[in-house]
């Protein structure tokens, strides 16, 4: 008897281990590890992943597997191991770790159908009765008619039949007509001899199939041979050809033409940078590279050329790009180089489209995937390189369980496949750069823009000065002048405002002073109700002062404006300007993001006003002015990374200007022009910024010097939430070693979300062997409350969002 070890879809502590099931005879020899099955579990039937097929079990009475969901494994052996690792790293359940690797459409219980791609006569005897003249049948009929699954499986492997998941989405599946020979090769050759000399067109088609043998879409055949449907039909009547229907993949980039691009001759710097990566590819040696290159220095060209090397070796490539940068422009660069070998995965695709892209990878029909975070789980089996562009982006960390970081997963997979991992950025995460400095990663540098274009000039405008001169508007005089200039020259302008909301800190508009926690070096958060300022890392708090403690001005108040308000003000100031606003509100609908950008690209607007989402990947040749309206709003978020994030953002936005013929200019408005972040960003001095920021991280004990774990408790009842958080802090304090620091409990920066109160503890540690165990213990203590009493305890290792 064969046994399957199954992880069941019951996310809880007691069930977070493999359960043994008997493989019934009808499934014998067909169930493989990585497939999903339906198993009885208590009174229910649940889905599960087969992790292993074994011969023995310690148990006496096994229940049999009820049904199979896949005839081909959805997880490879590597992904099964990866799931175990993610579970350990993030303290999540097995089932959660496996679910996250699959496209959404596979997670629900979708109907399945079986399609016959061949002629019925070609099927094995067991399968012949199945279709009975139909080309598609419900999957369930296999079981009803008691056809052995194993036979179906063999037919799938031979390409005779195919399983479809019926994803209920709005678009209907497109079918296209394909043509293939109905006779074998020598019969076709014989038939040629009988053709009359006049039948030139028919002859051409038959000769084509003698040469190519394979099926081809009808339309493509007609186009290639300049022939007609009638001619094909004549050959079908003669019994030489046959047609069949095939699903067209829902390829969102289907209708676009991509002009093939050739590799560019690399510059000296590029050659130096690419060499070690190529060596790693050739020697099949795992290495992590940090490609540190200023914006426009040709990083993407390096990605393209290393991928080409990988493809030549018959291997595959994963390219991660931040969701926001997955613009048509970016996708186009990969599609133009590698054509149909590229799958694209991002959140703008419908579940059906995502599934299609994933299946192309699973069936090894593509070699490259360009995608957002989750594309790191692409089920390639022969990876040759993993590239993470803009590696500092916080969107590579998943905020839901399992809270994995794509960079860590990339390193795991890179080690497994013995292939290079390339992290690219103009402003690497501090952690990454520190590792590169230590030699853990190999540092490759591109210090100049292609063609030695200079970086755009940056002007810093002191908004305190503006106020003193009586300008109370959100646009400085200099910015107004520059906008006017661009408008009259018919050039374009990008204005950048930090994301709305979170305007929770107070700043003195007179002197730019902000109130910081003396222990944590983060801005204090304003709590309107109690009129108090609180630190969200430790428990420090003070009453809201009426006057600025520095200059005694009474202009101290909390800070922030939304994009909509700015748009109104902008339109008032420049009535003739055509403005496009891009923020979460205007880009909610599918395709809106792309449409707005295209409009701007076609110069149907003069000013693009937006949040973070306009900072990256954009490349418009008529943009000659980039304005940052309020650098402070990001600088003073209650987050120890706020300086780093501001530096990254300022560099990114500056990189948008003057990328082409016209020289660009950048203007940054701020109340704290003397802040090292603003100053160094305006000089593009990453190196100095790194040293400066590292000193602060060291002093206040933050990453990369310390690791962090953030534990957030939430519940509708505030008192209960505080109680749990306090008990949790006690447990942490009493169990962890004296070297680790437990901060809190404190209210989270966003104290209430959706009627739930939130309190948090933060652990700072270097080496802490008892941390995982202690947190697990806490989760166990509260497991029942979490299941029955709506309590939530969320653990985040190396958190990025500290809200
Ligand atoms: N060796 C080369 N010769 C000529 N042009 C090049 C070369 N390498 C790159 N380019 C071009 O220079 C421009 C900038 O290069 P690329 O986009 O690769 O830089 P990047 O570092 O990825 O930029 P960013 O970080 O701003 O996205 C592109 O238009 C690209 O086609
Ligand atoms: Zn002041
Ligand atoms: Zn503090």
254 occurs within a structural domain: no
Decide whether any atom of ligand 1 lies within 6 Å of the 398 Cβ.
no
Atom number of ligand 1 nearest to Cα 616? 27
For 765, the domain range is: 707-797
Q: Are residues 643 and 685 in the same domain?
A: yes
Ligand-binding site membership of 535 (annotated): yes
Say if ligand 1 is within 6 A of residue 445 CB: no
Say if 473 falls within a structural domain.
Answer: yes
Spatial distance between the Cα atoms of 729 and 711, rounded to a whole number of angstroms: 10
Q: How far is the CA of 630 from the centre of ligand 1 (A)?
A: 29
CA 728 to chain centroid, in Å, comes to 33
- Picking from 535, 559, 583, the residue at the C-terminal end of a domain is 559
Dihedral in degrees, nearest 10, Cα atoms 588, 589, 594, 596: -70
Query: Where is 150: in which H helix or E strand?
Result: helix 149-157
User: Prior bond to 704 cis, omega within 30?
Assistant: yes
Phi and psi at 522, nearest 5°, equal: -125, 160
Angle at 792 between CA 786 and CA 795, to 5 degrees: 115
Last residue of a domain, one of 674, 697, 720: 697
pLDDT (mean) for 333-344: 90
**604-638 pLDDT tens trace:** 999 999 887 776 556 778 888 999 998 888 888 88
Is 517 annotated as contributing to ligand binding?
yes
List of residues 6+ apart from 497 with CB closer than 8 A:
561, 563, 566, 609, 610, 611, 629, 630, 633
Query: Is 548 marked as binding a ligand?
Result: yes
Which mutation among 299, 301, 648 tests ligand 1's pocket best, with the greatest number of atoms within 8 A of CB? Answer: 301
Is ligand 1 within 6 A of the CB of residue 422? no
CATH number of the domain to which 380 belongs: 3.40.50.300
Nearest ligand 1 atom, CA 390: 25
Contact 70, 36 (CB under 8 A): yes
Q: How confident is the model at residue 775 (pLDDT cuts 50, 70, 90)?
A: very high
From the CA of 550, the nearest ligand is 2
Using the Cα atoms of residue 736, residue 741, residue 746 and residue 751 in order, give the sign of their dihedral. negative
Ligand 1 site, residue 655, Cβ cutoff 6 A: yes
Determine how many CB atoms are found less than 10 A away from the CB of residue 257. Answer: 7
Ligand in closest contact with the CA of 303:
1
Q: Looking at residue 81, which CATH number applies to its domain?
A: 3.40.1440.60
Ligand having the closest approach to the CA of 659: 1
- Three-state DSSP state, 557: strand
**116 annotated to bind ligand:** no
Cα of 110 from ligand 1 centre, angstroms: 44
For residue 171, give both structure tokens: 């678009």
Residue 497 lies in a domain: yes
Query: Bridge-partner residues for 19, per DSSP?
Result: 6
Confidence of residue 166 (pLDDT cuts 50, 70, 90): low
Please tell me whether residues 284 and 377 are part of one structural domain: yes
Distance 303 CA to ligand 2 centre (A): 48
E-assigned strand segments in 455-508? 457-462, 492-496, 506-508
The pLDDT value given to residue 527: 77
Residue nearest (by alpha carbon) to ligand 1 atom 10: 298
**Is the CB of 300 inside a 6 Å radius of any atom of ligand 1?**
yes
Per the DSSP assignment, residues forming a β-bridge with 709 are 763, 797
Binding site membership of 322 for ligand 1 (Cβ less than 6 Å): no
Lowest mean pLDDT among 216-220, 288-292, 399-403, 559-563: 559-563
Closest-lying ligand 1 atom to the alpha carbon of residue 270? 1
The b/e string for 455-471 (b: 16+ C-beta within 10 A; e otherwise) is bbebbbbbbbebeeeee
Give residue 500 CA to ligand 2 midpoint distance, Å: 24
In this prediction, residue 548 carries a pLDDT of 92
Do 156 and 193 lie in one domain? The reply is no
Is 761 annotated in some ligand binding site?
no
Q: Residue 673 C-alpha to ligand 2 middle, in angstroms?
A: 14
Q: Are residues 630 and 582 in the same domain?
A: yes
The alpha carbon of 677 and the centre of ligand 2 are apart by a number of angstroms equal to: 20
Tokens encoding 420 = 């290079």
Give the mean model confidence (pLDDT) for residues 333-356.
Answer: 87
Average pLDDT, stretch 739-755? 85
Calculate the alpha carbon distances from 762 to 336, 759, 796 in Å: 47, 10, 10
Which stretch of 436-440, 481-485, 521-525 has the lowest confidence by average pLDDT? 521-525
In a shared domain, residues 726 and 684: no
Q: How far is it, in rounded angstroms, from Cα 56 to Cα 60?
A: 10
Helix (H, G, I), strand (E, B) or coil at 142: helix
The model's pLDDT over 655-710, given as tens digits with 9 standing for 90+, comes to 777 666 777 899 999 999 999 999 999 999 999 999 999 999 999 999 999 999 99
Could you tell me if 512 and 672 are in contact, meaning their C-beta atoms sit under 8 angstroms apart?
A: yes
pLDDT per residue as tens digits for the range 703-739: 999 999 999 999 999 999 999 999 999 999 999 988 8
| Cβ atoms of residues 444 and 290 within 8 Å | yes
298 and 413 inside one domain: yes
Residue closest via CA to ligand 1's atom 1 equals 266
Query: CB under 8 Å to 250, separation ≥6 — which residues?
Result: 171, 173, 174, 350, 352, 353, 356
Residues with Cβ within 8 Å of 243's Cβ and at least 6 positions away in sequence, in order, are 177, 178, 179, 180, 218, 232, 236
Annotation-wise, does 419 bind a ligand?
no
pTM: 0.81
Tokens 């399983």 label which residue? Answer: 163
**Range 782-794 average pLDDT:** 91
As to burial, measured by CB atoms within 10 angstroms (0-12 exposed, 13-18 middle, 19+ buried), residue 594 is middle
Is residue 474 situated within a structural domain? yes
Q: For residue 695, which of 684, 705, 686 has the smallest C-alpha distance?
A: 705
Of the ligands numbered here, which is closest to the C-alpha atom of 701?
A: 3
Ligand 1 closest atom vs CA 267 = 1
- 571 and 554 in a single domain? The answer is no
Who wins on pLDDT, 683 or 147? 683
Report residue 419's pLDDT band, with 50, 70 and 90 as the boundaries: very high
Which residues fall within 8 angstroms of residue 252, CB to CB, at 6 or more apart?
Answer: 344, 348, 349, 353
Domain-located, residue 262:
no
Return the higher-pLDDT residue of 351 and 549.
Answer: 549
Looking from the CA of residue 303, the nearest atom of ligand 1 is 18
284 plus 429 within the same structural domain: yes
Q: Is residue 261 part of a domain?
A: no
**528-542, 760-774, 781-795, range with the lowest pLDDT:** 528-542
User: CA gyration radius for the chain?
Assistant: 30
Q: Which ligand has the nearest atom to the CA of 296?
A: 1
From the CA of 387, the nearest ligand is 1
Of 171-175, 331-335, 416-420, the poorest mean pLDDT is in 171-175
Residue 264 in contact with ligand 1 by CB distance below 6 A: yes
Mode of pairing for the β-strands spanning 623-628 and 506-508: unpaired
297 lines ligand 1 (CB under 6 A): yes
Res 500 pLDDT > 80: no
Q: Is 425 close to ligand 1, i.e. is its CB under 6 Å away?
A: no
pLDDT of residue 637: 81
Name the residue among 622, 630, 627, 618 with its Cα closest to residue 593: 618
Is residue 185 over pLDDT 50? Answer: yes
Q: What is the pLDDT of residues 231-283, one digit of tens each?
A: 888 888 888 888 887 766 655 555 455 667 889 999 999 999 999 999 999 99
Inside any domain, residue 531: yes
- Report the mean per-residue pLDDT for the chain: 88
Boundary residue ending a domain (408, 429, 448):
448
Residue 284 pLDDT more than 80? yes
28-31 — which CB contacts under 8 Å span 24+ positions?
28/2, 28/150, 29/150, 30/68, 30/71, 30/148, 30/149, 30/150, 30/153, 31/2, 31/4, 31/65, 31/68
What pairs with residue 785 in β-bridges?
none
Pocket test for ligand 1, best of 263, 267, 273, 296 (most atoms within 8 A of CB): 296
Task: Write down the residue that tokens 């969701």 correspond to.
Answer: 323
Verify that 161 and 190 share a domain, yes or no.
no
Indicate which atom in ligand 1 lies nearest the CA of residue 266. Answer: 1
**Cα 655–Cα 661–Cα 662 angle in degrees, nearest 5:** 70
Residue 174 confidence (pLDDT): 59
**CATH number assigned to the domain comprising residue 773:** 3.30.70.360
Q: Is 327 in the pocket of ligand 1 (CB under 6 A)?
A: no
Domain count across the chain? 7
301 plus 436 within the same structural domain? yes
Task: Please enumerate in sequence order all residues whose Cβ is within 8 A of that of 799, keeping only pairs 6 or more positions apart, or say none.
Answer: 397, 403, 708, 709, 710
Q: Is 267 in the pocket of ligand 1 (CB under 6 A)?
A: yes
Residue 769: inside a domain, yes or no?
yes
633 lines ligand 1 (CB under 6 A): no
pLDDT of 193 over the 70 cut: yes
Pocket of ligand 1 contains residue 266 by CB under 6 Å: yes
pLDDT at 67: 87
Q: Are residues 488 and 629 in the same domain?
A: yes
Same domain, 678 and 667: yes
């Amino acid at each position: 008897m064969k046994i399957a070890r199954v992880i069941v879809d019951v996310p809880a502590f007691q069930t977070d281990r493999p359960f043994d099931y008997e493989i019934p005879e009808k499934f014998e020899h067909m169930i493989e590890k990585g497939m999903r099955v339906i198993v009885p579990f208590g009174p229910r039937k649940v889905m599960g992943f087969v992790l292993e097929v074994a011969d023995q079990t310690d148990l006496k009475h096994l229940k049999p597997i009820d049904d199979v969901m896949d005839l081909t494994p959805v997880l490879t052996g590597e992904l099964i191991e990866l799931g175990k690792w993610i579970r350990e790293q993030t303290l999540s359940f097995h089932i959660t770790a496996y679910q996250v690797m699959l496209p959404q459409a596979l997670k629900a219980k979708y109907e399945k159908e079986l399609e016959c791609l061949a002629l019925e006569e070609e099927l094995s005897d067991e399968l012949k009765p199945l279709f009975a003249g139909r080309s598609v049948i419900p999957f369930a009929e296999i079981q009803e008619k008691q056809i052995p699954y194993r036979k179906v499986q063999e037919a799938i492997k031979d390409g005779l039949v195919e399983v479809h998941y019926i994803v209920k989405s709005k678009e209907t599946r497109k079918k296209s007509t394909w043509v293939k020979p109905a006779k074998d090769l020598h019969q076709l050759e014989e038939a040629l001899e009988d053709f009359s000399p006049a039948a030139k067109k028919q002859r051409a088609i038959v000769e084509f199939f003698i040469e190519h043998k394979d099926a081809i879409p009808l339309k493509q055949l007609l186009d290639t041979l300049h022939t007609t449907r009638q001619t094909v039909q004549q050959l079908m009547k003669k019994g030489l050809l046959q047609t069949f229907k095939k699903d067209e993949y829902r390829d969102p980039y289907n209708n676009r033409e991509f002009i093939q691009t050739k590799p560019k001759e690399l510059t000296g710097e590029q050659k130096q940078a690419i060499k070690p990566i190529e060596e790693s590819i050739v020697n099949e040696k795992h290495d992590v590279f940090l490609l540190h290159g200023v914006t426009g220095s040709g990083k993407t060209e390096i990605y393209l050329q290393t991928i080409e090397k990988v493809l030549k070796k018959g291997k595959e490539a994963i390219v991660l790009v931040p969701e926001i940068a997955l613009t048509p422009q970016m996708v186009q660069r990969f599609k133009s180089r590698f054509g149909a070998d590229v799958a694209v995965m991002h959140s703008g695709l419908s579940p059906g489209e995502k599934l299609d892209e994933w299946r192309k990878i699973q069936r090894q029909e593509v070699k490259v995937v360009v995608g957002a975070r989750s594309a790191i789980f692409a089920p390639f089996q022969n990876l040759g390189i993993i590239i993470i562009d803009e590696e500092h982006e916080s969107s590579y960390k998943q905020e839901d369980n399992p809270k994995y970081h794509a960079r860590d997963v990339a390193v795991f997979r890179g080690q497994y496949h013995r292939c290079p991992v390339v992290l690219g950025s103009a402003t690497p995460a501090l952690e990454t750069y520190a590792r590169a400095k230590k030699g853990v990663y190999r540092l490759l540098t591109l210090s100049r823009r292609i063609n030695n274009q200079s970086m755009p000039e940056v002007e810093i405008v002191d908004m305190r000065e503006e106020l003193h001169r009586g300008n109370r508007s959100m646009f400085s005089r200099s910015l107004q002048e520059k906008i006017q200039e661009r408008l009259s020259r018919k050039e374009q302008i990008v204005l950048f405002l930090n994301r709305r909301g979170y305007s929770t800190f107070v700043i003195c508009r007179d002197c730019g002073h902000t109130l910081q926690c003396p222990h944590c070096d983060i801005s204090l958060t304003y709590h309107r109700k109690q009129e108090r300022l609180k630190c969200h890392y430790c428990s420090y708090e003070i009453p809201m002062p009426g006057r600025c403690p520095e200059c005694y001005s009474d202009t101290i108040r909390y800070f922030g404006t939304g994009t909509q308000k700015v748009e109104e003000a902008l339109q008032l100031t420049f009535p003739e300007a055509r403005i496009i606003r891009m923020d979460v509100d205007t880009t909610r609908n599918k395709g809106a993001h792309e449409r707005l950008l295209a409009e701007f690209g076609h110069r149907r607007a003069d000013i693009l006003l937006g949040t973070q989402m306009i900072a990256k990947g954009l490349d418009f040749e008529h943009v000659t002015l980039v304005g940052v309206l309020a650098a402070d709003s990001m600088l003073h978020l209650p987050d120890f990374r706020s300086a780093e994030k501001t530096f990254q953002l300022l560099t990114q936005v500056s990189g948008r200007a003057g990328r082409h013929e016209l020289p660009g200019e950048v203007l940054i408005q701020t109340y704290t022009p003397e802040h090292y972040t603003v100053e160094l960003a305006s000089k593009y001095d990453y190196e100095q910024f790194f040293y400066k920021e590292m000193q602060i991280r060291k002093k206040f004990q933050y990453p990369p010097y310390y690791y962090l774990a953030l534990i957030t408790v939430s519940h509708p009842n505030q008192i209960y939430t505080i109680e749990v958080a306090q008990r949790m802090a006690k447990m942490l304090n009493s169990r962890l070693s004296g070297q680790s620091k437990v901060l809190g409990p404190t209210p989270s920066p966003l104290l209430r979300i959706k009627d739930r109160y939130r309190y948090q503890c933060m652990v700072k540690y270097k080496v802490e062997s008892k941390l995982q165990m202690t947190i697990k213990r806490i989760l166990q203590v509260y497991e029942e409350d979490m299941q029955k009493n709506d309590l939530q305890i969320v653990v985040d290792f190396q958190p990025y969002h500290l809200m």
